[in-house]
Amino acid sequence: MSDSPAAPSRTKASGVKAALASVSPVPGAPKPDAIFVGDSITRSFGGLAAVDVSHLEVQRGSITALIGPNGAGKTTFFNVITGFDPPNTGTWSFEGSSLAGTPAYKVAREGMIRTFQLTKVLNKLTVLENMRLGAQGQSGESLFRALIPAIWRKQEDEITERALGMLEQFNLFHVKDEFAGSLSGGQRKLLEMARAMMSNPSMLMLDEPMAGVNPALTQSLLEHIKELRETGITIFFVEHDMDMVRDISDWVIVMAQGSIIAEGPPADVMRNPAVIDAYLGAHHDVALTESGESLTDTSVSLTKSEES
């Protein structure tokens, strides 16, 4: 799958694939060079355990997909590890430093930058201003230094230049002076991703980057994500679009009912019976009629014998 003809030459990609080849495809598998390590992370809402992850590692430089049926806890897991939602228990570290209990803005400063399922662009700011906001360490963002433009003018010019280059890459240059609120849904996804890139993240966390994006734009988004990885960034994303997952990810982690039920390279994971059951229900291929027994084929009887 990874050798599709449209793909550019991918040196980083092949390196990651080689490193992951030796990893055993079991839930919570240790990775040779993990950028993110999480342990016993739980988050419950009332009696419902939304997240219950015992161990998870993300390989540095990889494109790792987090998939699972609706309500599996993927977004909640993202919220917890980025500091947007407090966990009930758990520790996790990023690039070796512990991030549990760290507020969201400090998580972002550590280099873990996320986007949101429901795109959060800043409507009444122009596209360019949205981009500028993403840059880190701006001296003009302090109240007193802001009063003296001479202090921050030079840095602002550098940021603007970088933002314009980034907008060009993401095909948004022509709308740079429009209000972000006037962009289409797909353009907003692109803007949010480009804005996150302004922060120079070491891990980019995308929550359903393809949701609501038209198929024509999907292809260019996919290319962007692949190019981002070539710059050395780790990409960790939640997605429902299986074609995308199959196309770009090096490693897939499957969540269901809050915990990780499977891990592995995309092709293997999608054949995993536990994953198929999670998505379609354990009895998905049993006919709903009373006479179902007569229609059973070998695979169903296999599943049944496993359960009993």
Among residues 123, 219, 231, 301, the one that binds other proteins under rule CB under 8 A: 123
Cβ(20)–Cβ(250) under 8 Å?
yes
Alpha-carbon distances of 85 from 8, 120, 196, 223, 299, rounded to whole Å: 38, 17, 20, 31, 41
184 binds other proteins (CB under 8 A): no
249 binds other proteins (CB under 8 A): no
What six digits make up the tokens of 40?
A: 């016993």
Distance CA 195, CA 121 (A): 9
234 binds other proteins (CB under 8 A): no
114 binds other proteins (CB under 8 A): yes
What six digits make up the tokens of 282?
A: 């354990």
If the CB atoms of residues 120 and 284 are measured against other proteins, the closer one turns out to be 120
Stretch touching other proteins by CB under 8 A, among 122-130, 160-168, 230-238, 251-259: 122-130
Q: Is 173 helix (H, G, I), strand (E, B) or coil?
A: helix
- Tell me the closest approach of the beta carbon of residue 142 to other proteins, in angstroms: 7
Q: Is 143 helix (H, G, I), strand (E, B) or coil?
A: coil
Distance CA 132, CA 181 (A): 16
If the CB atoms of residues 138 and 171 are measured against other proteins, the closer one turns out to be 138
124 binds other proteins (CB under 8 A): yes
Could you list the residues that contact other proteins (CB under 8 A)?
A: 82, 84, 103-106, 108-109, 113-116, 120-125, 129, 132-134, 136, 138-143, 145-147, 149, 152, 156, 179, 181-182, 192, 195-196, 198-199
